[in-house]
Amino acid sequence: MQARRYTPEPIDDLEAVRLHCKALVLRRASLSAGAAVLPLPGLDVGTDIAILLRMIPAINRHFGLSKEQIEQLDPETKRIVLLMVSSLGSELIGRVLKKEAVLKLLQKVGVRATAGTVSKIVPFIGSALAASLSFAAMKMLGDAHIEDCYRLAREVRNRGLALASPAA
């Protein structure tokens, strides 16, 4: 299945970008839940890592906040954006994600990994619980990142500055 590209008009319509990203998170959270149902050790965590390594950068790109897009900004806008990123405390905006950072992120939702793995011992209820926890964790992480990007992009726009258009 080929991923659809999203190319809105310049970042003027932040709400449309936000809604598109929420739909993306919903699809990816469903994939995570599907992997959690399968009783193969490590498959759920491996799938979550792979999903996050693609989903977070995609959200950044849609908001014009990928590392490459930030690098293309004029020096003053770039400085302001990077200051705002650090004030948000985000480790995901404007950075190239590595597996280690994603593992750290998953550890922050630590209850999900252990509960999901242990719950697979109880056949049907365990699978349903693992899928529910996996879906909820992925959705929570994705939605929180969307809100960080949205707040940042809105603040940049409110200052009369412009971010790069999302990559095609």
Instruction: Dump pLDDT digits (tens) for 156-165.
Output: 988 888 887 6
Q: Is the pLDDT of residue 168 over 80?
A: no
pLDDT of residue 8: 42
In a domain, 6, yes or no: no
Q: Is residue 96 part of a domain?
A: yes
pTM attached to this predicted model:
0.78
Answer whether residue 136 is part of any domain: yes
Torsion 137-139-144-149 (CA) sign: positive
Distance between CA atoms of 103 and 108, rounded to whole angstroms? 9
Asked if the structure places residue 126 within a domain, the reply is yes
Asked whether the predicted pLDDT for residue 88 surpasses 90, the reply is no
* Domain residue limits at 150: 15-158
Q: Which residues of 37-53 are buried (b: 16+ CB within 10 A; e: fewer)?
A: beeeeeebbebbbbbbe
In a domain, 5, yes or no: no
Phi-psi bin for 35: left (phi > 0), alpha (psi -120 to 50), beta? alpha
Average pLDDT in the chain:
79
> Which tops the pLDDT comparison, 25 or 35?
25
What stretches of 10-122 show up as alpha helix (H) in DSSP?
14-37, 43-63, 67-71, 75-88, 99-108, 110-119
- Total of domains in the chain: 1
- Tell me if 8 is assigned to some domain: no
Q: Has residue 117 been placed in a domain?
A: yes
